[in-house]
Structure formats: C-alpha cells, structure tokens
Amino acid sequence: MVIDLCYLIYYFQLQSIGVILLSGCAGILSADFSSGLLHWAADTWVIIVKCNLLKNHQKHFLFLFKQGSVDLPVIGKNFIRPFREHHIDPTAITRHDFIETNGDNFMVIILPLGVMASRFSTCSNDQIAHSYAWYWYLFLFSVFVCVTNQIHKWSHMYTGLPKWVQCLQDCHIILPRKHHRKHHVSPHETFFCITTGWLNRPLEIVKFWKILEYLIESATGQKPRADDFKWAEKRN
C-alpha cells in the first residue's frame, strides 16, 4: 500500500486532478457497495453451487439460493457466522484485536496492490500515464476494503474512540454510529453497506435489496433470512 502510494504521488500531475478525484470517489463507492453486497449475502442467502455429473460426462451446475447455515463447510464458520453472531452480540466486534478484525481484508488486497506495484516498476511512463486514473480507483478501492471491518468496529464503539475517528464519523467520511444502528434493528434487512455508508440511502430509495430478494425468491422459492429465527433460538 505504501509503495503504491509513493508511486501515485511520484507520477501525480496537477492537470489530472479532476479525473483523479472522480476515479478515487468511484473506488470508495465501489468498496462501500462491495461491503453491502457481501454483508447482504451473508445475512440473507448464500449461493450454493452443486455440480452434478450427467450420463454423457457433461457437468451440470445447479445454483441454489438459500439462507446460508453457519454449519456449511469453510464459509459457514469463517464468513456467515461472524455476520450472524454480530446481530446477536453487536459489541463483540469491539473486543477483537487489530489482526482478528482486519486480517482477512488485508489479505484480500495483497494481490491487486502487488500487481499494481509491479506495473509501476516495469511499465513505461506513457503506459503509467494512460492507466493513472484507474490506479487511483484501484488504490482507494483497496484501502477502503482493507479498513471496512475497522470502520465497522468503530461504529459500535461508544467510549475510547480517538477524536479524529469521531471527526471522520461526524463528517460521514466513514460509517457513522447512528447511521449503522438502522441495520441493527430486526429483521436486519436494510443499510448493509458498512464502509462509508454513502450508498445506504440511495439503495434504500430505489429498494435495491428488496427487489434483489424478490427476484431471487420468485426464481427459487426460498425466503430471505429464513434461517435467522432458528439460529437466534439455538443461541438462546
């Protein structure tokens, strides 16, 4: 991240400030949308892909949508369970250390930022100038993906927050505490974006999640969040 930032500063030209701001904003919005989409998927369904072998040795893939159970192999424990437990004990995240909170997200961005750093060191000046706005998009997208869980953790902390974090929350540069509380009202069916939360209201206005859930329910017959009640009962 630091190497990429140094390169971005090194190749900065004032005349391209407009396009940099635009692609940077698009990167942050994309990170916010990705956080919402993954969070929604973990809270609402999981796509299970079943591969059946047909008689003529052709493979047939079956896509099943249903609310993912925490008992599913690998993703159940690592992906679905943290989101579902978070609804029952929202402050548990505030007791996680830096690695537990952010380790997974930091790992995800190693590859794109690594590729970007290698491009900076091997490509010609013309090639870099041509892709410069795209690099800003990718950089800010990755940085915001990286800090998503940290921002989410801060949105649940009511004591001990540094002043600068509170200031970022108050200016709605990162997810504000009051804003995120809307997601924590049962049945947890809205305000899924947890990076900046900028897209929560627009997506709510166009009923994005409701329409998506309606389309999936019509196509598969599966009800969104069908496993929630069972899960909450099991925990009590």
Residues of this chain that bind Zn ion (CB under 5 A): 43, 188
Query: Minimum distance from CB of 218 to Zn ion (Å)?
Result: 23
Nearer to Zn ion among residue 119 and residue 182 (C-beta): 182
Nearer to Zn ion among residue 4 and residue 43 (C-beta): 43
Query: Minimum distance from CB of 172 to Zn ion (Å)?
Result: 16
Pairwise CA distance, residues 47 & 194, whole Å: 21
Query: Minimum distance from CB of 151 to Zn ion (Å)?
Result: 10
Nearer to Zn ion among residue 59 and residue 234 (C-beta): 234
Nearer to Zn ion among residue 43 and residue 227 (C-beta): 43
Question: How far is CA 82 from each of CA 25, 71, 104, 174, rounded to the nearest angstrom?
Answer: 29, 12, 12, 21
Query: Minimum distance from CB of 16 to Zn ion (Å)?
Result: 37
Q: What's 202-215 look like in SS3?
A: HHHHCCHHHHHHHH
Pairwise CA distance, residues 44 & 32, whole Å: 18
For residue 155, what are the contacts with CB-CB under 8 A and spacing of at least 6?
169, 174, 175, 176, 177, 179, 180, 194
Nearer to Zn ion among residue 16 and residue 105 (C-beta): 105
Residue nearest to Zn ion (CB): 43
Query: Minimum distance from CB of 58 to Zn ion (Å)?
Result: 39
Task: Decide if 77 contacts 42 (C-beta within 8 A).
Answer: no
Cis amide prior to 90 (ω within 30 degrees)? no
Q: Which of 39, 46, 91 lies closest to 216, judged by CA? A: 46
Query: Minimum distance from CB of 20 to Zn ion (Å)?
Result: 32
**Placement of tokens 């009800």 in the chain:** 223
Nearer to Zn ion among residue 23 and residue 155 (C-beta): 155
